[in-house]
Structure 1
């Protein structure tokens, strides 16, 4: 290579390097991993009626909600006595580049289309949260609150991993549109909308341990809120790397003498304890959207950096190990550990079988100590039974010989009886 050519290459490379940011922005709103998408139920990652953000924007079957977004914006401006969306567009446009970097995939939307989408989707979500909490704000002909099924579908869609807006965009729009009726922060307003779907944590408790600046999107918010009560109980164990083996299903554990009880309290769904042969598990309510919510929270965790705890994945794997048949679900239901709103125990069993497929648990599995304790208990019971059998029935060579002789006599008697019966019927024939 000539000196002139080398200089040209050097200049070209330095130009490319100079164009890169010093610390590349890390996307926070990602696509569901392909190995999860390959599952037969990959539709649980797709919106049913509402597209939020760019990943599902423009899909024809979701267009009915686009007109409703404009209706919500119009009603919002009327309530605020504003004639123009200018200040909201200006605010979002100032965040356009930052917001675009939150998405992992290249986006086909130009700046105008992207900002329009952000304003429409953002105002719609905030107004939806307000209408859910304040009935007097609703339009009497609003289809969302006239049909419970539509509201249920929206709750499903708003939590999807691929159906998100950056939280800082939502928070900015909320602060610009805050009313005297609104709570002080967007987290409190959002949690009201999801109240009952997950655990009933007060917003003040959440905010004390979950600053707004640490929230990437609504899916991440609900994940953190759901896991929050459990995190502190195991924080001192987070660096442990215990070796553990899978536990048996409920049927097998019952044979080992293990009992199952509903844990007291309802704020810590994942706080499962095993003490004195009793497995205490908090109540889990299962309804139509439960599988989709679990799968999207699991998909969110599968994209976390190595070393971070996957609390929902670990909990799901635990329940997957426990539940092998509908009888296992029935026992949990009769103990008050599962409230089955689906009505069919077999359906719940199949749900956990699907959820546990191809799941990645934490490198420091949250329930490693519980698994080890359960397995030790089962091994002790097995050894105890074997010792009892040897002590009471096989405590001398003569007892073993007597047992074998009795067994042989039983086999001979059965054989002779069978032969006699067959001979009788053959002669009769």
Structure 2
């Protein structure tokens, strides 16, 4: 491809992308931009979902400075302020997997990988924030924002991971998050428990598909764990697990205090045990220390 052909491709694709962005984000959409109701592309909303997913693919992305330059020419403005960022955010918002948002391999621990099910490790609670990567761990409780998983989530994560891997000046936050979730989820039961806690919501066919998605996303991907934004949290989790007492408490809490019926059964069992102990004690005591009887003379 010659330089001229390459520039023509950037201009043509850039204009198309800008029409899509403005048509979706602005009030009255494509009609305001001059497209008829029977336009073969811009009048068919079903195409927008496919185009949005294609635009997320690394090989289809255009440099932002090209789009910004074209938008300035189109609108006749020298400055766009935050208008371009608002267009991009509004267009890709449906893909956001959040609420209303030394080298290590992917299989090594940002969290301790154990054979027990997830519900037997640490207590999980949903954190009310729109940033799906905003995770905290304190006093044995992992607080995680809600994560919405749909048919475009896998492609979204794959391309964001590829972007971070290809740009040395980029952060590795998305890669770190996905590796964290991969180490956290080992089975469909783990996905089910996170769903029960309000952390994971998915539109896939089964919990097994969600588990498989996270277990495959970071194959052959490596990051510097010391530079991960989750490295401090990882150390806290490891320190917490050095004391086995915490694991026993978590197991006891989930096995015997998970619901009112379990608590009732446990209390009844403890009371029954105490009564049995008391009965046994007094029986033995009476045998070795019989009561004194007084005789009349």
Question: How high is the TM-score relative to the length of structure 1?
Answer: 0.49
Q: Offset of 1:153 from its aligned partner? A: 1.1
- Contact persistence 1:260–1:280 (CA under 8 A): yes
Q: Structure 1 residues 120 and 279, CA, compared in 2 at 3 Å: closer, same or farther?
A: same
2:286 aligned residue: none
Q: Alignment partner for residue 38 of structure 2, among 125, 141, 152?
A: 141
SS of structure 2 residue aligned to 1:361: strand
SS of structure 1 residue aligned to 2:94: coil
SS of structure 1 residue aligned to 2:142: strand
**In the alignment, does 2:119 pair up with 1:254?**
yes
1:342 aligned residue: 204
**In the alignment, does 2:171 pair up with 1:273?**
no
Q: Structure 1 residues 188 and 166, CA, compared in 2 at 3 Å: closer, same or farther?
A: same
Give the Cα–Cα distance (whole angstroms) in 2 for the partners of residues 193 and 245 of structure 1.
Answer: 33
Q: Offset of 1:184 from its aligned partner? A: 5.4
Q: Offset of 1:144 from its aligned partner? A: 4.1
Q: Structure 1 residues 283 and 383, CA, compared in 2 at 3 Å: closer, same or farther?
A: closer
Q: Offset of 1:367 from its aligned partner? A: 1.5
| More relative contact order, 1 or 2 (CA 8 Å, 6+ apart) | 2
The equivalences for 1:41-190 within 5 A come to 109-134=1-26, 135=29, 136-137=31-32, 138-144=35-41, 146-178=43-75, 185-190=83-88
SS of structure 2 residue aligned to 1:142: coil
Q: Offset of 1:173 from its aligned partner? A: 0.8
The equivalences for 1:399-414 within 5 A come to none
Q: Structure 1 residues 128 and 383, CA, compared in 2 at 3 Å: closer, same or farther?
A: closer
Q: Alignment partner for residue 287 of structure 1, among 135, 142, 150?
A: 150
Q: How many residues align?
A: 233
Give the Cα–Cα distance (whole angstroms) in 2 for the partners of residues 261 and 250 of structure 1.
Answer: 21
Q: Offset of 1:145 from its aligned partner? A: 5.0
Q: Offset of 1:250 from its aligned partner? A: 9.2
1:301 aligned residue: 164
Q: Structure 1 residues 249 and 342, CA, compared in 2 at 3 Å: closer, same or farther?
A: farther
- Contact persistence 2:97–2:153 (CA under 8 A): no
Q: Tell me the alpha carbon deviations over residues 229-248 of structure 1, each in whole angstroms, 9 at most, x when there is no partner.
A: xxxxxxxxxxxxxx976412
Q: Structure 1 residues 183 and 155, CA, compared in 2 at 3 Å: closer, same or farther?
A: farther
- Contact persistence 2:240–2:246 (CA under 8 A): no
Q: Structure 1 residues 249 and 302, CA, compared in 2 at 3 Å: closer, same or farther?
A: farther
Structure 1 residue runs of 5 or longer lacking an equivalent are: 1-108, 201-225, 227-242, 386-429
Q: Offset of 1:360 from its aligned partner? A: 1.8
Q: Tell me the alpha carbon deviations over residues 361-386 of structure 1, each in whole angstroms, 9 at most, x when there is no partner.
A: 2342221222222222223135885x
Q: Alignment partner for residue 215 of structure 2, among 353, 359, 362?
A: 353
Q: Offset of 1:199 from its aligned partner? A: 7.3
Q: Structure 1 residues 173 and 153, CA, compared in 2 at 3 Å: closer, same or farther?
A: same
CA RMSD of aligned residues (A): 2.9
Q: Offset of 1:263 from its aligned partner? A: 0.7
SS of structure 1 residue aligned to 2:52: helix
Structure 2 residue runs of 5 or longer lacking an equivalent are: 102-107, 249-297
Structure 1 runs, 4 residues or longer, greater than 6 Å off: none
SS of structure 2 residue aligned to 1:357: coil
**In the alignment, does 2:95 pair up with 1:197?**
yes
Give the Cα–Cα distance (whole angstroms) in 2 for the partners of residues 119 and 165 of structure 1.
Answer: 10
Q: Offset of 1:315 from its aligned partner? A: 0.3
Q: Structure 1 residues 265 and 297, CA, compared in 2 at 3 Å: closer, same or farther?
A: same
Question: How high is the TM-score relative to the length of structure 2?
Answer: 0.70
1:218 aligned residue: none
Higher strand share: 2
- Contact persistence 1:249–1:323 (CA under 8 A): no
